[in-house]
Amino acid sequence: MTVYATIDLGGTKIAGALATVEGAIVAERTVPTQSYEGPRAVIERIGALVNELAADYGERPAALGMGIPGNATAAGEVIFLPNLAGNWRDVPARAWLEPMIGCPVALLNDVRMATLGELVYGHGITTPTLAFFAIGTGIGGGFAYDGHLYMAAGGVNSEFGHHTILPDGPRCGCGSRGCLETLCSGPAITAEGVRLLLTGQTTVLYTLVDGDTGRVNPRTMAEAAAQGDTAVREVLGRASEYLGIAVSNVIAFFHPPLVVLGGGVVGTSAIDFDTVRATVRARVQMFPVDDVRIEESLLGTRAGMLGGVALAAQRGIAWGRT
Amino acid sequence: MTVYATIDLGGTKIAGALATVEGAIVAERTVPTQSYEGPRAVIERIGALVNELAADYGERPAALGMGIPGNATAAGEVIFLPNLAGNWRDVPARAWLEPMIGCPVALLNDVRMATLGELVYGHGITTPTLAFFAIGTGIGGGFAYDGHLYMAAGGVNSEFGHHTILPDGPRCGCGSRGCLETLCSGPAITAEGVRLLLTGQTTVLYTLVDGDTGRVNPRTMAEAAAQGDTAVREVLGRASEYLGIAVSNVIAFFHPPLVVLGGGVVGTSAIDFDTVRATVRARVQMFPVDDVRIEESLLGTRAGMLGGVALAAQRGIAWGRT
């Protein structure tokens, strides 16, 4: 049976798998990234990982789809990863990898790859036009239309995390100000929790983390809110409202029947879906939005890995249009 | 030679023309809308106008493309025009018009129709992926990708004028708050000029309009700014910056190679393109934007009429995908 390889390259670990085109995973392995060793060493580690997976299963993959925490050129050949240690500019990842593993390689931004996973193996099975938000350490996005991932010619688009929500808001890691990511990412929410702790505005959260700011995060904050911490509830409510504004803007532009929220922060229950939905109803007035659904990812943390399978098998993606 | 009819239905006048598929206009007429007489009377006036154009030219049109200041259903059959006098909800414009003029009729929001015009007869000839902003009494938008107008299933999308720029900003006519339209439309800019006049913060503009607030508008304000009115310059600069934020958001989402600015306010020179471009460079940091052009419409006020020709001839629009 034909199998495809999928790799999710992260800042701390490289997750790899072999799967069928139906999305059934037949082999799985994870290794540390150790990006400080530089691009060549990491790419070699990825090549070795794919070869080990093939040995585990006893069959070579037909192709590899790989998600990266940054952006590839439109043809998916060269990648730029600003957030990894080492000089990850203009790295010819595809040219290096293909001889190592003996099959075609396609590269894609990790959140666009998760969108592709959701499109081909998740909500997209019934709703092939959808917008996707991944809310974690950063915030990324993707958009699929009529069964195909939207891909701009430049290879980068759908940067929902880096559009302006508050023009004079906090400085963003990207260099701009008041991006959604500064208001609703895991670190952004955590920073507001730390602010509450340090200014004595919370007792439930303080008790929960034993006064240790290092233990404040969206998960402990969601727990504090569930236990009745009104200050933390307000912070999470505001973050959810900012996300609701961002979702409203995406709906105003694309008007998809479905917006999917995924990523680690959504998994912690820190995001209040009712607030997101109420904000959308208040903000989008140019057309009825009762039929625009806002739902959690059906695939959770597996959206990216499954997106790599779709990428390798060239399902839901038209490279010719890029 | 085959000719197509095009109609731009506005709040005060109905502009009509016959044109070839190459965009050469061979007959042209305009009549008042008088929308207070109700939908049926207006639709009959449009039918008569098309028939008069056909008599002028001596040939029947093969089809009609009509732009409306509101939204049609996806199939372009029924329209809803909230800003016209009379009850314009669920009006079967197509069913009424086709027997009157004896040819197929297609309906489209006027700004999406202008985007189609720009796509088929303007900048789109060389750059078939583009975003379009029409800045006038209201602000509308459109997006074309790979030579086709983007059309969501619901028939409404690309509402760039109604996405949030200032979450706590002024109340918008649409019901939301701080939409781009509340900050950069003609009336929004005029209101800020009136504020300056009434609070004694401008002398150049005051002299120019003889102290008459009724004569304050984007055109007189642009003239005052050109004559050195620093307060008015600041107001126009801020409106241009808000527009720049909106353009940045559109670029972050779609990453088109070109953003076209059109509409009456752009025609008055009230918008400072350098400020728009500088704002985009400051706000879009996730990918290089040096190659994303921000240009004035090549067609100006004719974008809508020419879009109607493209709509009638079914160029640049795939109804099957809606």
Q: Are A245 and B174 a contacting pair at CB < 8 A?
A: no
Task: Flag whether residue B115 sits within 8 Å of chain A, measured between CB atoms.
Answer: no
Contacting residues for A212 by C-beta, under 8 A, at least 6 apart: none
Q: Are B158 and A129 a contacting pair at CB < 8 A?
A: no
CA atoms within 13 A on the CB side of A93: 33
CA distance B249 to B141: 13
Average pLDDT over residues A118-140: 97
Residue A268 within a domain: yes
Task: Flag whether residue A319 sits within 8 Å of chain B, measured between CB atoms.
Answer: no
DSSP 8-state secondary structure symbol assigned to residue B285: -
Question: Of B4, B5, B18, B23, which Cα lies nearest the Cα of B303?
Answer: B23
- The shortest CB-CB distance from A165 to any of B129, B167, B242 is to B167
Task: Flag whether residue B283 sits within 8 Å of chain A, measured between CB atoms.
Answer: yes
DSSP 8-state secondary structure symbol assigned to residue B299: S
Residue A165 within a domain: yes
Based on the fold, state whether residues A317 and A181 are members of the same structural domain: no
Reduced to 3 states, what is the DSSP secondary structure of residue A103? Answer: coil
Q: Are A164 and B165 a contacting pair at CB < 8 A?
A: yes
Residue B114 within a domain: no
- The shortest CB-CB distance from A283 to any of B164, B166, B284 is to B164
Q: What are A10-26's pLDDT values in tens digits?
A: 988 999 999 999 999 99
Q: Are B285 and A162 a contacting pair at CB < 8 A?
A: yes
Q: Are B252 and A160 a contacting pair at CB < 8 A?
A: yes
- The shortest CB-CB distance from B287 to any of A154, A160, A177 is to A154
**Residue of B286, B289, B292, B322 to mutate for A, most A C-beta atoms under 10 A:** B286
One-letter amino acid of A81: L
The residue of chain A with its CA nearest to that of B162 is A252
Task: Flag whether residue A153 sits within 8 Å of chain B, measured between CB atoms.
Answer: yes
Based on the fold, state whether residues B100 and B135 are members of the same structural domain: no
Average pLDDT over residues B223-233: 97
Computed over every residue of chain A, the mean pLDDT equals 94
Based on the fold, state whether residues B138 and B257 are members of the same structural domain: yes
Q: Are B176 and A250 a contacting pair at CB < 8 A?
A: no
CA distance B153 to A95: 40
Residue B54 within a domain: yes
Q: Which two tokens stand for residue A106?
A: 């396609």
Based on the fold, state whether residues B139 and B272 are members of the same structural domain: yes
CA distance B216 to B32: 25
> At B166, phi and psi to the nearest 5?
-125, 105
Q: Which two tokens stand for residue B144?
A: 């074309």
* The pLDDT value given to residue B154: 77
B253 to chain A: which residues are within 8 Å by CB?
Answer: 141, 143, 157-160, 163, 250, 253-254
* The pLDDT value given to residue A320: 44
pTM of the model: 0.95
* The pLDDT value given to residue B271: 97
Residue B118 within a domain: no
CA distance A241 to A275: 6
- Residue holding tokens 């493209």? B310
Give, in degrees to the nearest 5, the angle at Cα A85 between A79 and A88.
20
Q: Are A156 and B286 a contacting pair at CB < 8 A?
A: yes
Q: Which two tokens stand for residue B141?
A: 């938008």
One-letter amino acid of A135: I
Q: What is the extent of the structural domain holding B156?
A: 123-298
User: Is the pLDDT score of A175 beyond 50?
Assistant: yes
User: Is the pLDDT score of B320 beyond 70?
Assistant: no
CA distance A307 to A108: 10
The residue of chain B with its CA nearest to that of A176 is B283
Q: How many domains does chain A have?
A: 2
Which helix (H) or strand (E) element contains residue A71?
strand A71-72
> At B201, phi and psi to the nearest 5?
-100, 5
Task: Flag whether residue B100 sits within 8 Å of chain A, measured between CB atoms.
Answer: no
Based on the fold, state whether residues A247 and A316 are members of the same structural domain: no
**A88 min Cα distance to partner chain B (Å):** 15
Query: If you count DSSP H runs as helices and E runs as strands, how many of each does chain B have, helices first?
Result: 11, 12
The alpha carbon of A168 is separated from its chain's Cα centroid by a whole number of angstroms, namely 26
Average pLDDT over residues B14-41: 95
Which helix (H) or strand (E) element contains residue A65?
strand A64-68
Residue A117 within a domain: no
User: Is the pLDDT score of A321 beyond 90?
Assistant: no
Based on the fold, state whether residues A150 and A70 are members of the same structural domain: no
Based on the fold, state whether residues B93 and B9 are members of the same structural domain: yes
Higher pLDDT, A71 or B113: B113
Q: Are B253 and A253 a contacting pair at CB < 8 A?
A: yes
* Dihedral (Cα; A248, A252, A255, A261), 10-degree rounding: -20
- The shortest CB-CB distance from B165 to any of A167, A253, A321 is to A167
Q: Are B164 and A248 a contacting pair at CB < 8 A?
A: yes
Average pLDDT over residues B93-108: 95
CA separation (Å) from B320 to A148, A220, B174? 16, 49, 30
Based on the fold, state whether residues B149 and B172 are members of the same structural domain: yes
Based on the fold, state whether residues B164 and B38 are members of the same structural domain: no
Angle between helices A186-198 and A230-254 (to 10 degrees): 150
Q: Which two tokens stand for residue B147?
A: 């030579």
Which helix (H) or strand (E) element contains residue B27?
strand B25-32
Q: Are A249 and B163 a contacting pair at CB < 8 A?
A: yes
Q: Are B162 and A71 a contacting pair at CB < 8 A?
A: no
Average pLDDT over residues B132-158: 93
A79 to chain B: which residues are within 8 Å by CB?
Answer: none
Q: Alpha-carbon torsion A31, A34, A38, A41, what sign?
A: negative
**B160 min Cα distance to partner chain A (Å):** 6
CA distance B128 to B311: 16
Which helix (H) or strand (E) element contains residue B32?
strand B25-32
Based on the fold, state whether residues B149 and B253 are members of the same structural domain: yes
User: Is the pLDDT score of A127 beyond 50?
Assistant: yes
Based on the fold, state whether residues B189 and B249 are members of the same structural domain: yes
Q: What are A68-118's pLDDT values in tens digits?
A: 988 887 666 777 777 777 778 888 999 999 999 999 999 999 999 999 999
Residue A114 within a domain: no
Burial (0-12, 13-18, 19+ Cβ within 10 Å), B191: middle
CA distance B54 to B56: 5
* CATH number of the CATH domain containing B66: 3.30.420.40
CA atoms within 13 A on the CB side of A41: 11
CB atoms within 10 A of CB B268: 19
B242 to chain A: which residues are within 8 Å by CB?
Answer: 167
CA distance A260 to A132: 5
DSSP 8-state secondary structure symbol assigned to residue A173: T
One-letter amino acid of B3: V
Q: Are A253 and B159 a contacting pair at CB < 8 A?
A: yes
- The shortest CB-CB distance from A164 to any of B172, B248, B291 is to B248
A115 to chain B: which residues are within 8 Å by CB?
Answer: none
Instruction: Spell out a b/e string for B13-38, using b for 16 or more CB atoms within 10 Å of the CB, else e.
Output: ebbbbbbebebeeebeeeeebebeee
**Residue of A283, A284, A319 to mutate for B, most B C-beta atoms under 10 A:** A283
Judge whether A276 and A283 are in contact, CB under 8 Å: no
Average pLDDT over residues B255-268: 95
Q: Alpha-carbon torsion A256, B247, B174, B35, what sign?
A: negative
Computed over every residue of chain B, the mean pLDDT equals 94
Burial (0-12, 13-18, 19+ Cβ within 10 Å), B62: middle
Residue A34 within a domain: yes
Based on the fold, state whether residues A64 and A43 are members of the same structural domain: yes
Q: Are A249 and B164 a contacting pair at CB < 8 A?
A: yes
CA distance A158 to A113: 12
Question: Of A43, A46, A1, A9, which Cα lies nearest the Cα of A25?
Answer: A1
Question: Of A113, A115, A112, which Cα lies nearest the Cα of A130?
Answer: A115
Q: Alpha-carbon torsion A304, A309, A311, A312, what sign?
A: positive
* The pLDDT value given to residue B82: 73
pLDDT band at residue B74 using 50, 70 and 90 as cut-offs:
low
Residues 253-272 of B with CB under 8 A from A: 253-257
Question: Of A277, A254, A140, A163, which Cα lies nearest the Cα of B165?
Answer: A163
One-letter amino acid of A95: A
Judge whether B37 and B23 are in contact, CB under 8 Å: no
Contacting residues for A254 by C-beta, under 8 A, at least 6 apart: A131, A143, A145, B150, B152, B157, B253
Q: Are B245 and A174 a contacting pair at CB < 8 A?
A: no
pLDDT band at residue B321 using 50, 70 and 90 as cut-offs:
very low
Average pLDDT over residues B130-157: 94
